[in-house]
Structure 1
Amino acid sequence: MSIYSQLYDTKSKHSAQAMGSGGLEVLATPTLVAFMEHAAFTFLQSQLKDKQTTVGSEIAIQHLAASKIGQAVTIVITALKEEGRKYDFRIEAFANHKLIGRACHTRVRVDQDAFLEKL
């Protein structure tokens, strides 16, 4: 079951070679992580009050298959558990209808001003 999905076009800047995480012109694992975090952030942001946002606090990812640069990647949020300020996601990634990755990702709701004051 999908509760949210977002499509990403991959470009050369998203490759392992460009990111420095490998030597091939394929989707980089750091890019896959960023796409997953962005989808979770975007999904939650519309549900929050002004001056609230979420920050990523944990991600465990499996990059299961390579995908070509130029192929679209669809990120699908399949589950969400909310506990207080904490949101736990189950996320899957597909390229050309093939499962290429899955992750468990946690985000925490924060007040923007209070969060930045602590830095």
Structure 2
Amino acid sequence: MSGSSDAGAAGASGTSGASGGARAVSAELSFTVTGDDTALALGSGNLPVLATPRLLAWCERATCLSVEPLLREGRSSVGTRVELQHVAASPVGAEVIVTSDPSYADGRLQRFRVSGRHTDGKVVATGEVTRVVVDVDRFLDRLA
């Protein structure tokens, strides 16, 4: 993984769903932008600033932490829909704090508001990620 991260999921919010009374939680991660995280390095542009694909991956990682309380043994979650507005550049060395907050739940479907900001509070991105809780064996069997 590129960048450094300090992960923490805290606070209960959202709606009971895929695992009885369990609820998705808010999560926050911190990353430091490295050369490997840039648009230039990932091929998504030609500037040495945080690449949108990397920022989206960080947001999805936060949603994975948010949905963890819903995952019984043999369960995982998969991303099914993403929307991200990347509104500010982040140079190499910048710290980006990514958050995920539950916004909607309907059974196995879990939706999260995501955002990224610099340590000075400047908004880098806002969006929404939808995940669906799946049975790992059944999901993988469909690929065969």
Residue aligned with 1:24, SS: coil
1:99 is the counterpart of 2:123: yes
Residue aligned with 1:37, SS: helix
1:20-78, Cα deviation, whole Å (9 max, x unpaired):
00111100000111000011012212431011010000001100010111111111123
Cα RMSD after superposing both structures: 1.4
- Structure 2: segments with no counterpart, 5+ residues: 1-10, 12-25
Select which of 53, 63, 75 maps to 2:86: 63
- Structure 1: segments with no counterpart, 5+ residues: none
Q: Which residue of 1 aligns with 2:136?
A: 112
Alignment of 1:1-119 (within 5 A): 3-96=26-119, 97-119=121-143
Give, in whole Å, the separation in 1 of the partners of 2:62 and 2:92.
19
**Greater Cα radius of gyration, structure 1 or 2:** 2
1:7-27, Cα deviation, whole Å (9 max, x unpaired):
122211110000000111100
Residue aligned with 1:62, SS: strand
Residue aligned with 1:18, SS: helix
Does the 8 Å CA contact 2:113/2:128 hold for their aligned counterparts?
Answer: yes
TM-score, scaled relative to structure 2: 0.77
Runs of 4+ in 1 over 4 A off after TM superposition: none
Give, in whole Å, the separation in 2 of the partners of 1:39 and 1:45.
10
Aligned length: 118
Percent identical across equivalent pairs?
A: 33
The residue type paired with residue 47 of structure 2 is L
The answer to which structure, 1 or 2, has the higher relative contact order (CA under 8 A, 6+ apart) is: 1
Greater mean deviation of Cα atoms: 8-17 or 53-62: 8-17
Greater mean deviation of Cα atoms: 106-115 or 71-80: 71-80
- The alpha carbon displacement at 1:106 in A equals 0.3
TM-score, scaled relative to structure 1: 0.92
Give, in whole Å, the separation in 2 of the partners of 1:60 and 1:39.
15
Q: Which residue of 1 aligns with 2:21?
A: none
